[in-house]
Chain A
């Protein structure tokens, strides 16, 4: 049962990932990405990480895809290139290198055990208290600093967006206009 679901979702995941790359229409690519995010959420659910699954749907499927679609609208026009234009010697080298890396990582993961130490939060404990509760307790005790730093990180993002996406008319009119030198 579990294996069947996994195979279906895994195939869907790979197909949608390829769909993102090979689509000429950027909007379709974004929608394929949405499917890909949803399949990853299913993987999280199958690994008993319900909270992460919900987060994946909320943030990635909900917000990030919307943002990507906005970018597509912002840039307008069709951005896709002909797939035949991808066939260049440089890309061939890149594909070979990527395959080598994939082989190394794949061999390491399949032939050797992930031998890590087990943490304090056993499945039984999670069953008893609930996953969101456990995450809440861990986040606000052991990982308190990380939570606060995430706040700082979001602050950096806010300030950066405010500056970069400001209307040009609102910029002060003084100063020279440096251009790219040859």
Chain B
């Protein structure tokens, strides 16, 4: 029923309003008068001095990690419907899930052994 989602809609509305306020307030001159100087317009990154360009290529390891994250994310999707009927499926369900998990655990071990998660 769509009416069941009214709390979600309200929540979305509150989130949206808050973000508009948070982003919009600094743009009102009365609250935030603009007096720029050199130090103000510099990049602030955890107190470190900024270097280089933000638009630079990143190492492929990030990509590998993201890719493997997706694969295991999809794996979790199969765990969820299994978990909610865990008792009803009994040993049959455990056996079925064991086979599925075994396939991915072997994949995980292989990935580890092959150094796909090494960062050097």
A interface residue numbers (CB < 8 A to B): 1-2, 5, 45-46, 48, 51, 55, 58-59, 62-64, 66-67, 70-71, 73-77, 130, 132-133, 135-137, 139-140, 144, 147-148, 150-152, 154-155, 157-159, 161-162, 165-167, 170
Contacts and interface: CB of A to CB of B under 8 A. Distances in A.
Given A59-B74, A74-B58, A158 B68 contact: yes
B80 A132 contact: yes
Contacts of A166: 114-116
A151 B100 CA distance: 6
A34 to B, nearest CB: 15
Given A64-B70, A140-B85, A159-B110, A58 B77 contact: yes
A64 B97 CA distance: 25
Interface in B74-106: 74-75, 77-78, 80-85, 88-89, 92-93, 96-97, 99-100, 103-104, 106
A113 B89 CA distance: 37
Main secondary structure on B side of the interface with A: helix
A55 B75 CA distance: 12
Contacts, number: 133
Interface residues of B, number: 47
A45 B107 CA distance: 34
A148 B89 CA distance: 16
A141 B10 CA distance: 39
B30 interface: no
B60 interface: yes
A133 to B, nearest CB: 5
Nearest to B70: A63
Contact of A71 (B63, B75, B92, B107): B63
